[in-house]
Amino acid sequence: MKLLNPRNRYSLGGAGFDTTYFQLLDEGKAPFLYVELDFKEVTSKKAAVIENSSQLRDKILGANSSISVEEGQVLSDHYKLLPVDLRDIPKLRDVVSFAGMDPSLPTFIIAECVLIYLDPDSSRAIVNWASKTFSTAVFFLYEQIHPDDAFGHQMIINLESRGCALLSIDASPTLLAKERLFLENGWQRAVAWDMLKVYGSFVDTQEKRRVAHDAGKSIIIHLINLVFHPFYVMGKEHYCVTYAVNDAMGIFGDFGFTRGSRESMNISSAMSP
Ligand SMILES: C[S@@+](CC[C@H](N)C(=O)[O-])C[C@H]1O[C@@H](n2cnc3c(N)ncnc32)[C@H](O)[C@@H]1O
């Protein structure tokens, strides 16, 4: 899970080995503070990767910076990687404070395939804590839905066989249930779309044409696409994006999904001070 604002961005677990911060830096779009959280065994490995890569290390290290593989910590002025078990809310509170975040500032929270792996009470507690803590924030959740059809069953079996049980999927199995998860835990508004709808609304027509054109160059690729298209569609229907908004400062306006309008989800402009 991750949280962000122009001065703060958190990745509450699920930081995994995601390198978004470094990409944002390269693009000149990094927020003032970006915080990533995960279990210590993951943050230690990630700290080691950063320490051993001059390409990554040189981007973040300055006078006030340090990397400790043993502690699973990377501390720099604008980027923090910290270990925590997200289910431990008092610890989560401590970590947010240790990271130097100001929760009254606009914050963007991202949880990509994280809450769904926690038990439902813990997922709800985190969503509730985030709502109480960040009064001007967007919480962005990306995870699985629809466990009850054939594709959903197979998806669950595949993930379980890799030791990744989706403990929360039955507690919020639909788009409506994802929205309810936020609305019943303090968020002012929440909208959930499946990835098929997101793709249909936000991916450039030009990009779609390019993919179709490339596929058209090879009859074999074209045939493969035809055969697998239903699975591709079903896959997209089983993942969704939910965003929830708290807007105490009144800065977000009608920020959110609008079919066909790519700019409407421009997070950086919505979060600009
Ligand atoms: C499926 S990975 C997602 C990684 C990343 N968000 C991405 O999309 O590439 C789930 C991550 O959540 C972390 N995680 C799961 N439960 C957690 C918990 N209770 N506290 C902290 N991190 C947790 C795991 O260690 C793992 O890195």
CA of 14 to the centre of ligand 1 (A): 3
- The residue count of the chain comes to 273
Q: Provide the 8-state DSSP code for 190.
A: E
Q: Which helix (H) or strand (E) holds 44?
A: helix 40-52
Kindly report, residue by residue over 82-130, the tens digit of the pLDDT.
999 999 999 999 999 999 888 998 898 999 999 999 999 999 999 999 9
Q: Provide the 8-state DSSP code for 195.
A: H
- Tell me what pLDDT residue 266 has: 45
Q: What is the dihedral of CA 43, 66, 92, 111, to 10 degrees?
A: -50
The answer on pLDDT for 7 being more than 80 is no
Domains of the chain (ranges, CATH numbers): 2-196+239-271 (3.40.50.150)
Kindly report, residue by residue over 74-92, the tens digit of the pLDDT.
999 999 999 999 999 999 9
Kindly report, residue by residue over 218-243, the tens digit of the pLDDT.
656 655 565 566 667 778 889 999 99
Amino acid letter, residue 11:
S
- Tell me what pLDDT residue 249 has: 92
Look up residue 268 and give its two tokens. Answer: 């950086």
Candidates 175, 221, 2, 29; CA nearest to 96 is 2
Q: Provide the 8-state DSSP code for 241.
A: E
The bridge status of strand 79-83 relative to strand 239-247 is unpaired
Query: Is the CB of 1 within 6 Å of ligand 1?
Result: no
The answer on pLDDT for 255 being more than 50 is yes
Q: For a substitution probing ligand 1, which of 10, 37, 39, 143 has the most ligand atoms within 8 Å of its CB? A: 39
Query: Is the CB of 138 within 6 Å of ligand 1?
Result: no
Average pLDDT over residues 7-19: 69
Known binding-site residue numbers for S-adenosyl-L-methionine = 14, 85-86, 112
Candidates 113, 86, 135, 122; CA nearest to 239 is 113
CA of 144 to the centre of ligand 1 (A): 14
Interface confidence (ipTM) of the complex: 0.98
